[in-house]
């Protein structure tokens, strides 16, 4: 939520260099075939940014960058908006829905086909790429 990965990767940026500072930046890939890496960010959050555009590797490993609106009008555009993720209903819903799918799968309440159907609907609901 509100990942600062793009900010940290950017600290190696040198505007005088022709080398892409993000070329070798490779975050960990989700290994589980049913796993998704969803980066939730608020465009007003000065700490959190989309991760997929950083480089082609990030585009492969991060399932989606979802723009959510957290915080209030007053905290938007300030570091205080970064703390709003934990109390946001939309963020809670996105996380809880995926956790419930995983719980059903791990506890063997769902067959593989049912799990895949749930994940497909989940991705469609939040406009994620379906692979």
Q: Evaluate whether 4 touches 49 at the Cβ level (below 8 Å).
A: yes
Expressed as residue numbers, the domain containing 99 is 5-125
CA distance 123 to 114: 14
Has residue 131 been placed in a domain?
A: no
As a whole number of angstroms, the longest Cα–Cα distance in the chain is 56
pTM above 0.85, yes or no: no
Report the share of the chain in percent with pLDDT over 70. 77
Lowest-confidence range among 7-16, 23-32, 56-65, 85-94? 7-16
Has residue 16 been placed in a domain?
A: yes
Residue 28: predicted pLDDT? 66
Structural domain count, the chain = 1
Residue 84 has pLDDT above 80, yes or no: yes
């Amino acid at each position: 939520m509100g990942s600062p990965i793009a900010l940290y990767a950017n600290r190696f940026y040198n505007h005088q260099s022709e080398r892409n500072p993000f070329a070798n930046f490779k975050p960990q890939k989700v290994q589980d075939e049913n796993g998704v890496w969803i980066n939730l960010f608020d465009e007003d959050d000065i700490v959190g940014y989309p991760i997929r555009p950083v480089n082609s590797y990030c585009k492969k490993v991060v399932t989606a960058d979802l723009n959510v609106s957290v915080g209030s009008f007053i905290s938007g555009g300030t570091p205080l908006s970064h703390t709003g993720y934990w109390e946001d209903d939309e963020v809670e819903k996105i996380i809880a829905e995926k956790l419930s799918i995983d719980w059903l799968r791990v506890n063997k309440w769902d067959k593989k086909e049912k799990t895949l159907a749930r994940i497909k609907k989940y991705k469609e609901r939040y406009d994620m790429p379906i692979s």
